[in-house]
Amino acid sequence: MAPRPRRAGPVAGGPETAGPRVGVLALQGDFREHAHVLAALGARVTLVRRPEELAEVDGLVIPGGESSVMDKLSRTFGLAAPLKAAIAAGLPVYGTCAGLIMLADTVLDAIEGQQSLGGLDVVVRRNAFGSQNQSFETDLAIPELGDAPVHAVFIRGPVVESVGPAATALATLDDGRVVAVEQGSLLGTSFHPEINGEHRFHEYFLSKVRTRV
């Protein structure tokens, strides 16, 4: 029998009247770090492990972690189909690292049977930056987030191999590889702004949530 997900629900994030209700997919990965950032920015945060919790949020963050494990757990717990439907209906979603893989329409090196949720018109390659001990940091110019460069931390992250006509590249490395994209209410980064105090991507995402609300 499939395991039952532990009920998640709201976490700390200000009074009930403050900010939009933003979910963080909490099946696996560094969801707690995202929850803390969002709460600090005034969002009311819900850790999402069940379809009924997903139905209550105005936006969703899919964290870094292991994309193949997230995929399996989302299907086991009955979340995959509701997630795809919510994305298709325009729910703002921000995916970091594994979350970007989950949002990509095409994953070049997925393991056997692995599925993505889709929504972003991009092709990604998993673990494009090597093993964890090959992690690195760099500064990125992202005009949409202001003049100051964004300090980005890469940990076994994916790379966007190609960007389709529906999506837009937001950031590239010096060698031209795309590491941040957006498409309407969807946003994806290869790196982890939640772990180094760089909150502008979360603020940018929350602006999408507020616009939809």
Annotated active-site residue in 53, 182, 194, 198: 194
How many whole angstroms separate alpha carbon 100 and alpha carbon 118?
Answer: 9
- The whole-angstrom separation of Cα 204 and Cα 81 is 27
3-class state of residue 22 by DSSP: strand
φ, ψ of residue 149 in degrees (nearest 5): -65, 155
Q: Does the annotation count 194 as an active-site position?
A: yes
Question: Is 198 among the residues known to form the active site?
Answer: no
Q: With H, G, I as helix, E, B as strand and everything else as coil, classify residue 48.
A: strand
Residue tagged active-site, from 34, 53, 192, 202: 192
CB 73 within 8 Å of CB 98: no
* Whether 97 is catalytic: yes
Q: Within a 10 A sphere around the Cβ of 107, how many other Cβ atoms?
A: 24
From 97, 182, 198, 202, the catalytic residue? 97
Instruction: Tell me the catalytic residues.
Output: 97, 192, 194
